[in-house]
Structure 1
Amino acid sequence: MTLNEPAKRPLELWGGIECTVVQIGSEFRNQVEETGHLQRLSDLDAIAALGIKTIRYPVVWESIAPDHPDICDWTWTDERLTRLRELGIRPIAGLVHHGSGPRYTSLIDPEFPDLVARHAERVAARYPWVDMFTPINEPLTTARFSGLYGHWHPHGRDYPTFLRCLITECRATVLAMRTIRRITPHAQLVQTEDMGKTFSTPHLRYQADLENERRWFSLDLLFGRVDRQHPWHEICLRHGIKEEELDFFLEGDGAPDVIGINHYNTSERYLDEAMDRYPECFHGGNHLHPLNDAPRIDHYADVEALRMDIPSEELGFKARLAEVWDRYRHPIAVTEAHHGSTREEQVRWLIEVWHEVQALRETGHDIRAVTIWSLLGAVDWNSLLVARTGFYEPGAFDIRSGQPRRTAIGRAAESLANTGAFEHPVLDQQGWWRREGRHSHPPASKVEAPFRARRPILIAGATGTLGHAFARLCAVRGLDYVLLTRGEMDIADPASVDAALARHRPWAVINAAGYVRVDDAARERDVCFRANATGAEAIAQACARLGLPMVAFSSDRVFDGSLGRPYLESDSVSPACVYGESKAEAERRVASAHPEALIIRTSAFFGPWDSANFVYQVLRDLQAGRTVKPSEGIVSPTYVPDLVHASLDLLVDGERGIWHLANQGMTSWRELAKRVAAEAGLSWRAGPQAVQDKPRITALSSERGLIMPSFEGAVSRYFRECEVDWNAQGFLDAAE
């Protein structure tokens, strides 16, 4: 192979669907079910529309033969693989994805390898046109989580169980490919593994060295490299693995055709014995380590290496891929590229991986593809599936709608698949993992050069709750912004708006300004309409002329509350007050002037950074011994940080039209006040409640997507994130 031979072939964009079926205790979790793909054949057409031609796809043993190895249901898989073939998408068939098999086996069952091979044979015979396989996904990672850390079945927490799981998985891979190739001789093994690296203080270098050697073990086994000189050969024998079990792999017929490397920001770790420097959640140890020589430090903090002062060239995908290439000199694919974060950070991660792979290909590294993972997102992977909280991370599509909605990752995927490039203003800034401020303990002196010229988001409304919140969270998310006062841009004056846009040259505009004094609007109708309707229209007209995305905010007050249920985006407006009329008029004018604008209806703000909200006032009154007198009606309380994050995600996604954004659920003002009092540990005192035959319901729901968390959870987070300690005596002094 000549130096630049890999670069002559276009870098491919592959896709993947999160398809873990994992047993935790006696229960199974199925990500295909939890993301809804189990019921949506149409997902495959949406994926094909991105231009993706190769996909990691489940033909998962636990789903096909859940109760008995000889009782198989192929209905779902037949339909999906047939459709993939019709769409011209090549599947990489995954047979066991982080699982331990159906209930009748496990990773420590001696029969597991033969059972997997039997399933593989049936898959190959049923789908002879499928020629790429991953029999066992990430065997080393799965063995760690199942046999060493106890997260998944069989919940082992020792090295004998870990090594038994790993040997079982790797033997299953070899036997599976042997049976597959008897039917499809040209079938390829795409063997995936998470490839991280461990860094440490000098005192913990022994542990880092152990983990850095261990990370290669599954691939070394499959390549036939674990001979008697291999550093893990003796460790295996010491923990119950027989020599003939290791000799099974020496033939090397389990060597992958393509090494699939998965890597996440959390894959690289740093070990530090100074545990008091880190939160307790990072405290751990190695009391199970397999070495028996001199005494070692066995309790330490285990943190993300990206937050430590380590040279940037030693961290990240590029460094890890280069290590894999140097060790094996074998074709590679990035088989998972995903970052569970805000939308712009997800895009930054994908594009950084793409560019780094391109750079490696130019220097002779044979890297075939980058895989977007996961196309449909994932549920509860922030807890390794152990907790059932419904925490969802979107991918190329967001499934929290009637049909999956394409995100900015999806837009990037289509561009990469068809042109090999993607551009978006959020790429002006680097990801958090490369920005200043990421370090747990900042280095003594380190100045990072700007990434490139940055285009800001222009935010109108510097004196309001929403404007301040957008500025604050844009800074956190690495989104450059300009926050303007009325003196700097009078939104109701078209000339002032034009001048501000020309001066700051933003890539998007968020109108967080406006008239908010609902009770005063009736006697200040002209002032209210000038700020809310005329101002919104002036910004929309200017943005439309310049082709700029715009975000405008409306209110639940565009409805009168008589419908008897939460309102959806398609419900007709029916304002019952002047403020509501001004917002309804603003919606009409913005939509007319700028059809591509994003109009967000929301409700009943409360947030941790200001006092201009109902929750703050309830707490203030209760601590002062005053009686709380809630208004009547049922609403959807909206936590400002959640609103701002969701709004920014939709902006980056390129969404348009009316969206309802409020925390899920609804409550009366009285019940909200009682919940707040209970959370704060304060005595509940309220005035008499008027009797209403039919309470006014202005709560909001959505037919476009429920992308905000519950309001109950938001109330709890308010107390954790608030800048005031409500239980401290000093609150009264600060509030008065």
Structure 2
Amino acid sequence: MWTAAEQERARGADIRAVTVWALFGLVDWRSLLTKKEGAYDAGAFDTRSDIPRPTLFAKAAAALGRGDRLEHPVLDLPGWWRRPGRTHARRRFETLPRRAANARSILITGATGTLGQAFARICAHRGLPFVLTERSQLDICDEGSIASAIARVKPWAIINTAGFVRTWEADEKADECFLANVTGPELLAKACKLHGIPFVTFSSDLVFDGQLGRSYVEPDAPAPLCEYGRSKAEAEARLISIDAGALIVRTSAFFGPWDRHNFLFNTIEQLRRGEDVFASARTIVSPTYVPDLVHATLDLLLDEEKGIWHLTNQGSMSWHELAQAVADHTRSDAGKIIVPDHDEPSDTSLTSSRGVLLRPLDRAISDFVDSSEPLRRLLDEAA
């Protein structure tokens, strides 16, 4: 818009200003106000923080206003409105390439995991070029492999979704867990600092012991009880000491619509088979919907945010309540959801003192039930 205005003014048009709209974001504009959902999209500032937080849009407007040249990797490609599939009215747009030859990419580790696959899917949806790597292409625990991947891809950012995720095995496989969850992110962070590349990695609610009596916020001191939590807490400490400007996202109990590897799907699968589901009524968590998590993480990356952020859907509940909720949504037999005999109290739920960015949990669960491809197939087979 700014470039077009400059071009027309050079031709003699009397253009005095370009407006920034909407300065503080929009509510329900994504549906053109046809639905009253309370869906918020940030503008130049994100008002979900106590103090409105400047986004990439605000920084871009400020740079242009100063007369600076605007440079950012997202500008390597045509705008979203010029991409194939975005319009039926102007067929010539369909001939535009999906990826410009010189477009810079985001390097994403962890191709076999839920988060890695989700980032690839949503980056494609948002028109962000990416390279998704498996361990054979980038071993995060090998400095040489990291250096080779950076030289090959020349990424403008790295998002690390790789790591040891089998929390129930972490105590027995502590060395393997620490190698993947501590050494790997540390080596990536050092390489990113060396090359001046933004770095994103993920941590967990299990860095806390669950005994605080309220939801945890970013400044709360870690106090892990298990090896998995200790590995994540140690990774956070090392990244902060490196001073790499990394974005560290703490999240919890995530579930997504594109695979079967989550508590919600497993609950419905067991109930449909007539099996009992054992779920704690005293362990409180913050279930997190993967599409919401990925979109918010990408927003923070683009906005050049750093440090620790808590990204979970708004609200918390026990595993038992979560199982009940998804059973109710799918009209499954909730009577088979049983509280185990030994049910120790713990509350590792997360909220944020920096800005609550994700939508309420009940809406996320509804979206999961409506959108999950594996769940839909499971329910169709049962019917």
Shared fold (TM-score greater than 0.5)?
yes
Residue aligning to 2:167: 518
Task: String of CA shifts for 1:201-231, please: whole Å, max 9, x gaps.
Answer: xxxxxxxxxxxxxxxxxxxxxxxxxxxxxxx
Task: Please tell me the residue identity of whatever aligns with 1:487.
Answer: S
1:357 Cα offset (Å): 1.3
Which of 38, 57, 60 is the aligned partner of 1:412?
A: 60
Q: Are the equivalent residues in 2 in contact too, given 1:635–1:699 (CA < 8 A)?
A: yes
1:378 Cα offset (Å): 2.8
Task: String of CA shifts for 1:536-566, please: whole Å, max 9, x gaps.
Answer: 0000000000010000100001001000111
User: 1:535, 1:702 → 2: CA distance?
Assistant: 26
1:452 Cα offset (Å): 5.8
Task: String of CA shifts for 1:620-664, please: whole Å, max 9, x gaps.
Answer: 101111111114510000000000000000000000000000001
Task: String of CA shifts for 1:291-337, please: whole Å, max 9, x gaps.
Answer: xxxxxxxxxxxxxxxxxxxxxxxxxxxxxxxxxxxxxxxxxxxxxxx
Q: Are the equivalent residues in 2 in contact too, given 1:429–1:452 (CA < 8 A)?
A: no
Task: String of CA shifts for 1:709-734, please: whole Å, max 9, x gaps.
Answer: 0111000001221113537665469x
Task: String of CA shifts for 1:354-396, please: whole Å, max 9, x gaps.
Answer: 1111222222222221010122223344466676533222111
Which of 380, 393, 410 is the aligned partner of 2:41?
A: 393
Task: Please tell me the residue identity of whatever aligns with 1:432.
Answer: W
Q: Are the equivalent residues in 2 in contact too, given 1:606–1:638 (CA < 8 A)?
A: yes
Residue aligning to 2:372: 722
Task: Please tell me the residue identity of whatever aligns with 1:477.
Answer: R
User: 1:446, 1:574 → 2: CA distance?
Assistant: 53
Which of 209, 218, 231 is the aligned partner of 1:582?
A: 231
Matched position secondary structure for 1:599: strand
Residue aligning to 1:666: 316
Residue aligning to 1:592: 241
**TM-score of the aligned structures, taking structure 1 as reference length:** 0.50
User: 2:356, 2:72 → 1: CA distance?
Assistant: 25
Which of 340, 357, 363 is the aligned partner of 1:707?
A: 357
1:421 Cα offset (Å): 2.9
Change (3 A) 1:590 1:432: same
Pairing 1:646–2:296 present: yes
User: 2:306, 2:198 → 1: CA distance?
Assistant: 9
User: 1:516, 1:658 → 2: CA distance?
Assistant: 20
Change (3 A) 1:411 1:445: closer
User: 1:451, 1:611 → 2: CA distance?
Assistant: 34
User: 1:422, 1:532 → 2: CA distance?
Assistant: 36
User: 1:676, 1:484 → 2: CA distance?
Assistant: 33
User: 1:570, 1:662 → 2: CA distance?
Assistant: 16
Change (3 A) 1:445 1:410: closer
Which of 112, 126, 131 is the aligned partner of 1:482?
A: 131
Which of 348, 365, 373 is the aligned partner of 1:698?
A: 348
Residue aligning to 2:200: 551
Q: Are the equivalent residues in 2 in contact too, given 1:680–1:727 (CA < 8 A)?
A: no
Q: Are the equivalent residues in 2 in contact too, given 1:375–1:396 (CA < 8 A)?
A: yes
User: 1:443, 1:470 → 2: CA distance?
Assistant: 29
User: 1:483, 1:688 → 2: CA distance?
Assistant: 40
Task: String of CA shifts for 1:487-523, please: whole Å, max 9, x gaps.
Answer: 1011011111011001100000000000000010111
Task: Please tell me the residue identity of whatever aligns with 1:718.
Answer: F
Q: Superposed, which structure 2 residues align to 1:493-532 within 5 Å?
A: 493-532=142-181
User: 2:382, 2:188 → 1: CA distance?
Assistant: 41
User: 1:384, 1:712 → 2: CA distance?
Assistant: 23
Q: Are the equivalent residues in 2 in contact too, given 1:428–1:452 (CA < 8 A)?
A: no
Q: Are the equivalent residues in 1 in contact too, given 2:248–2:307 (CA < 8 A)?
A: yes
Matched position secondary structure for 1:427: helix
Q: Are the equivalent residues in 2 in contact too, given 1:553–1:600 (CA < 8 A)?
A: yes
Matched position secondary structure for 1:702: coil
Residue aligning to 1:541: 190
Residue aligning to 1:366: 14
Change (3 A) 1:561 1:383: same
Task: String of CA shifts for 1:446-501, please: whole Å, max 9, x gaps.
Answer: 42155561000000001111000000100000000000001101101111101100
Residue aligning to 1:433: 81
Task: String of CA shifts for 1:7-29, please: whole Å, max 9, x gaps.
Answer: xxxxxxxxxxxxxxxxxxxxxxx
- Whichever of the two has the greater Rg, that structure is 1
Q: Are the equivalent residues in 2 in contact too, given 1:380–1:390 (CA < 8 A)?
A: yes
Q: Are the equivalent residues in 2 in contact too, given 1:541–1:594 (CA < 8 A)?
A: no
**TM-score of the aligned structures, taking structure 2 as reference length:** 0.94
User: 2:277, 2:27 → 1: CA distance?
Assistant: 40
Q: Are the equivalent residues in 2 in contact too, given 1:725–1:731 (CA < 8 A)?
A: no
User: 1:663, 1:646 → 2: CA distance?
Assistant: 11
Matched position secondary structure for 1:610: coil
User: 1:713, 1:679 → 2: CA distance?
Assistant: 11
Matched position secondary structure for 1:368: coil
Residue aligning to 1:687: 338
User: 1:393, 1:445 → 2: CA distance?
Assistant: 26
User: 1:616, 1:728 → 2: CA distance?
Assistant: 9
User: 1:475, 1:691 → 2: CA distance?
Assistant: 45
Residue aligning to 1:424: 72
1:619 Cα offset (Å): 1.1
RMSD (CA atoms): 2.1
Q: How much identity, in percent, do the aligned residues show?
A: 49
Residue aligning to 1:116: none
1:429 Cα offset (Å): 1.5
Would you say how many aligned residue pairs link Structure 1 and Structure 2? 380
Change (3 A) 1:442 1:516: farther
User: 1:570, 1:387 → 2: CA distance?
Assistant: 37
Q: Superposed, which structure 2 residues align to 1:119-134 within 5 Å?
A: none
User: 1:656, 1:445 → 2: CA distance?
Assistant: 36
Change (3 A) 1:442 1:356: closer
User: 1:706, 1:594 → 2: CA distance?
Assistant: 25
Residue aligning to 2:110: 461
Task: Please tell me the residue identity of whatever aligns with 2:286.
Answer: S
Residue aligning to 1:656: 306
1:595 Cα offset (Å): 3.5
